[in-house]
Structure 1
Amino acid sequence: MQQILGLANRLQDLARATPDRIYASTASGPVTFGALATAADAMAQRLHDLGIKRGDRVVVMMANSLASLSLIHGLMRGGFVWVPVNPALVGAPLQHVLRTTQPSLILCDAGVENAFENLAEVASIQIEIISDRGLPAKAEEPCADDFAGPDDLATIMFTSGTTGPAKGVMVTHMMLELAAEAVSLCADVVPGDNLFMWEPFYHIGGAQVLLLPLVRDVSLTISDRFSASRFWQQVAEAGCTHIHHLGGIIQILLKQPDSSWERNHKVRVAWGGGCAPEAWLPFEKRFGIQIRECYGMTECSSLTSWNAEGVVGSVGRAMPWFDITLKDETGRTLGPGEGRGEIVVRTSLPGAITQGYYANPQATAKALQDDGFHTGDLGSWDENGMLFFHGRMTDSVRCKGENVSAFEVESVANRHPDVAEAAMVGVPGEIGEHDIQLFIQPREGTRPDPADIWSWMADQLAPYQRPRYIALVPEFPRTPSQRIQKHLLPQRPDMRWEANIPSHKPKIREGASK
């Protein structure tokens, strides 16, 4: 691994050395390092002209585009703190992001500004609509000569809350660089590789891929959406060598009809997380591609472990700069064959683990303890020291490519006048992730219509947060401390109302931006 030097100047250094080298191929044509560096400087200057200072937070609610690509690099160039937000986010979760970060500026695509109507938090915040989908024109001069270093804050990325609101992970320039380095290890990249990218820029999964050409001699093929039916044709025609899988992607591709393109490609590695063990070998056999599974989280520079040994179902071994232990509820360290325990991560490289959650000292203290970073995830070891991931210890559901917080969905439902209390659970989906089922205890004397409740909630939730099923219950089973015992809630399909939405349309669905 090369020395961690920071990313603020890396793009410009490469542009000066190899201005015509291709950074990425897009639907609008190839983007060279020279053109992207020029555009990043222009974006940094534009923000500087708006009065944004180094260290100021900038909320960005944009889909993948050339403008958002240059903006991300411009934010790093100018030392501004990027706060990426899903453009579909609305209501209380969006308010929470704005209250927490108190940004100086909001940048968004046209149409997204409607989400800010009636939000008091935006009264004193500049909002700029970015309508130009091309690369900005050249700036006369860079806006500053005091650039951000490796330990400076680069971004605040919000991860879905489980027992509370979403938490803003503080990610430094060094952590982003390590995330890109980790991808290169997990995906086994070599000079000249071409990685197919459909991920949203506003997720760590997309951000780390965007930075990979800055640390390795590779290029990207950036698609504006995931299309299962055209997937293999796209990667074949682009000459891609790598694809990224998340959630149900592996299963979605396996469900597609046979195609002449599915073997007529140069892809040799599918890297990522969430491959169901039963789909692993059928995928490799059908498409002729090696699966390299990984595990990680934003708080630990994205990737914590990777599986280079082909052990089906395993997330492998720790990255060179991490050490992983498993601990039971008493704090005892677990070894092979000793069951499941919480995954705790330590590092030999100061700065590889987040300094904490922005403006949330309580959550920071809970996660960052003397023995390492407590992930809240369950894992186990096999006899050879390979790690297996068994899901979250806390209350969230993986749905449509997102970790959906039960707290956030329940807090919306609980505001409905006919709802006494609500409880969200995940029920098995068709392709390996989950659909959301919401249980509702009606207020005494009311007989709410689930369809009316769903419509009322839909205006306050992003599409991936909306329940597929709603069931009414007279009362909830509870612990002695009055907590709802979700595992005892009835799962009978005949007892629930179903929304008229596709059961397996993740946010990477065909025809939608990721």
Structure 2
Amino acid sequence: MSADQIALSRQADVFSLKEAFPPSTRTFPQMMIRQAERFGCRSLVTVGGATLSFEATKRLAARAGFALRAAGVKPGETVAVMCGNRLECLQILLGCAWCGAIAVPINTASRGAQLEHILKNSGAKLAVVESTHLAVFQRLPQESLSLERIWTVGDVPADAGLGWPHGPIPDLDAEMEAHPSLPSDTVAVLYTSGTTGVSKGVCCPHAQYFWWGVHTAALLGVTEDDVLMTCLPLFHTNALNTFFQALLTGASLVVETRFSASRFWTSLAAHGATITYLLGAMVPILLSRDASDTDRRHGARIALAPGVPPHFHAPFTERFGVSLLDGYGSTETNFVVGALRHEQRLGAMGRARPGFEIAVFDEYDNQVPDGTAGELVVRASEPFSIATGYLGMAEKTVEAWRNLWFHTGDRVIRDADGYVQFLDRMKDAIRRRGENISSFEVEQVLISHPDVENAAVFPVRSELAEDEVMASIVLKKGAVLGAADLLDFCQPRMTYFSVPRFVDFVDELPLTENGKVQKFKLIERGVADTTWDREKAGYTLLR
């Protein structure tokens, strides 16, 4: 069989899961019970140096569920989890799913007002916190939160100074029967990164993760012979999805502590990984490193890598021997747009996946013709395969799910063949002198310069009280580049009105733990003393 035929066969095999798991069984406990019976002592997950079989993972979930229930956590109640990629993090997430509680995984970079908002909005009475993050709880206003106690992970410093009763996770010495959850029940609340405003808690039902696993495994061609490796955080949908891919297919998952460019390829080789997961920023970081004999000393064949600029795909595959699979999904949706590797079109995310309908709307929710930019909207035909709303934010829920479509906030173009190209976030669009400018498109030109490592483009207010285009630039190690020379490179490659007026050379861009640029921080900083201004410099635009 050719590689394309194998890919199609594997997709068909994965979609047979729809028949293997009737709708009423698309909950974590039911999936876990069935797969433990089928795969037994076969390795399911390795995390924090510990390897658990399918059967051992089921027992871990049952014991963690018992500990939570014994502590008074009732079905439907929330449990906050602020922990790195450790076994304890996984056991609490699975324990919540087993006993009917709702896990609230929190970005470990959360601080201050953002963390206070998450704890207040979720109403968690119990928090499970890694010791390295306890200090951020010292500064929280205890009286305004529902939090009653903290279970600690790791050694607690003597000066922890916590205002709440705290102690280690209780011994897992007993098991409980699985709570009879429904596929529609919320299994986790994941908070958006908050790059443009207050974080929203996305209510994710059990069935949503079933479909995450099915669609992602189908596109990657996951089988029970595969070893998956992720270094993405377990508080992120991507990593949680990876667990369900392994659970549903019989594959084995390795969860690394964090992304390390220097150890990435050796880790793949050490674990025998065949499939891995990357975010957009990771690909240029790996390419920027000096070539090494470890570049191809591994068995990985494909990486899920949404949001990677098109010009990186060929160099990455040529150097490392790993194909990059694009696609579209969000915490609120699922893997709704994608294509098999041989069906991909460079620069496009793919087409609507089976079970999802997509459209492109204008600002009044009218569908626009193919080839016209607009907002990507999504709806599902399978029940509870996307999120059910935002926790405690009824108005935001109605706004996002209005007219029976989920409004993604992403600006795209769909062609006549149904392939979707991402342009930018709707809020990342810049309007200058009556022209709409895509920050994404400007960024693609900037990072195509051989001396540029990364770039972020965003609006700043000018003296004319309108948007001006500003770019923060990270240069490659050892590179020397002037702002005027950079704009000389840009001018032939973009419209004159898109050329940045302001250029800032910075050592790094502010990123979330998920690798997204926190543009609100750049906007807040705005034009600084070190910022180059082409108008003050007398730089001439060509029209």
2:130 alignment partner, one of 109, 124, 130 = 109
2:96 alignment partner, one of 60, 72, 75 = 75
Residue number in structure 1 paired with 2:433: none
**Within 2, Cα distance between the matches of 1:119 and 1:426?**
40
1:258 matches 2:281: no
Residue number in structure 2 paired with 1:283: 316
**Within 1, Cα distance between the matches of 2:464 and 2:105?**
39
Deviation at residue 496 of structure 1 after TM alignment: 8.5
**Within 2, Cα distance between the matches of 1:191 and 1:209?**
13
Contact 1:194/1:242 (8 A) holds in 2:
yes
Structure with higher helix content: 2
Contact 2:446/2:455 (8 A) holds in 1:
yes
**Within 2, Cα distance between the matches of 1:136 and 1:265?**
40
Contact 2:98/2:179 (8 A) holds in 1:
no
1:346 alignment partner, one of 376, 379, 383 = 379
Residue number in structure 1 paired with 2:149: 126
**Within 1, Cα distance between the matches of 2:375 and 2:458?**
25
C-alpha distance 51-135 of structure 1, shift in aligned 2 (>3 A)? closer
In the superposition, the TM-score normalised over structure 2's length comes to 0.73
Higher relative contact order (CA 8 A, sep 6+): 1
**Within 2, Cα distance between the matches of 1:83 and 1:44?**
15
In the superposition, the TM-score normalised over structure 1's length comes to 0.77
Residue number in structure 1 paired with 2:36: 15
Residue number in structure 2 paired with 1:306: 338
Provide, for residues 357-387 of structure 1, a one-character-per-residue CA deviation record: whole Å limited to 9, x for no partner.
1111111111112241111111112342211
Residue number in structure 1 paired with 2:57: 36
Residue number in structure 1 paired with 2:532: none
Contact 2:61/2:94 (8 A) holds in 1:
yes
Contact 1:248/1:431 (8 A) holds in 2:
no
Contact 1:15/1:34 (8 A) holds in 2:
yes
C-alpha distance 507-259 of structure 1, shift in aligned 2 (>3 A)? farther
**Is there any run of 5+ residues in structure 2 with no aligned partner, and where?**
1-14, 157-167, 431-442, 473-481, 485-501, 516-543
Deviation at residue 81 of structure 1 after TM alignment: 0.5
- Say what the alpha-carbon RMSD is for the aligned residues: 3.2
C-alpha distance 162-362 of structure 1, shift in aligned 2 (>3 A)? farther
SS state at 1:111 partner: helix
1:372 matches 2:405: yes
1:187 alignment partner, one of 200, 215, 220 = 220
**Within 1, Cα distance between the matches of 2:445 and 2:79?**
36
Residue number in structure 1 paired with 2:352: 318
C-alpha distance 286-135 of structure 1, shift in aligned 2 (>3 A)? farther
Residue number in structure 2 paired with 1:389: 422
**Is there any run of 5+ residues in structure 1 with no aligned partner, and where?**
398-424, 440-472, 479-484, 510-514
Residue number in structure 2 paired with 1:467: none
SS state at 1:192 partner: coil
1:434 matches 2:468: no
Alignment of structure 1 residues 66-215 onto 2, 5 Å: 66-120=87-141, 121-122=144-145, 124-131=147-154, 138-142=172-176, 144-161=177-194, 164-215=197-248
**Within 2, Cα distance between the matches of 1:396 and 1:91?**
29
Residue number in structure 2 paired with 1:295: 328
Provide, for residues 288-323 of structure 1, a one-character-per-residue CA deviation record: whole Å limited to 9, x for no partner.
22221011111113x211132131111001121101
Provide, for residues 93-139 of structure 1, a one-character-per-residue CA deviation record: whole Å limited to 9, x for no partner.
11111221111211100132221224223465222212289998654
Deviation at residue 354 of structure 1 after TM alignment: 2.0
Contact 1:8/1:79 (8 A) holds in 2:
no
Contact 1:162/1:395 (8 A) holds in 2:
no
Deviation at residue 262 of structure 1 after TM alignment: 1.7
Provide, for residues 197-247 of structure 1, a one-character-per-residue CA deviation record: whole Å limited to 9, x for no partner.
111000111111122222112111221121112211211222111111212
Residue number in structure 2 paired with 1:328: 362
Amino acid at match of 1:127: I
C-alpha distance 193-119 of structure 1, shift in aligned 2 (>3 A)? same
Deviation at residue 33 of structure 1 after TM alignment: 1.8
Contact 1:378/1:392 (8 A) holds in 2:
yes
Alignment of structure 1 residues 386-465 onto 2, 5 Å: 386-394=419-427, 430-432=452-454, 434=456
Contact 1:326/1:343 (8 A) holds in 2:
yes
**Within 2, Cα distance between the matches of 1:222 and 1:129?**
21
Identity of aligned residues (%): 27
Contact 2:125/2:148 (8 A) holds in 1:
yes
Deviation at residue 163 of structure 1 after TM alignment: 5.2
Contact 2:275/2:300 (8 A) holds in 1:
yes
Amino acid at match of 1:487: E
**Within 2, Cα distance between the matches of 1:243 and 1:507?**
18
C-alpha distance 396-214 of structure 1, shift in aligned 2 (>3 A)? farther
C-alpha distance 385-153 of structure 1, shift in aligned 2 (>3 A)? same
**Within 1, Cα distance between the matches of 2:470 and 2:296?**
45
Contact 1:342/1:377 (8 A) holds in 2:
yes
Amino acid at match of 2:288: K
C-alpha distance 426-360 of structure 1, shift in aligned 2 (>3 A)? farther
* Corresponding pairs, count: 437
Contact 1:377/1:391 (8 A) holds in 2:
yes
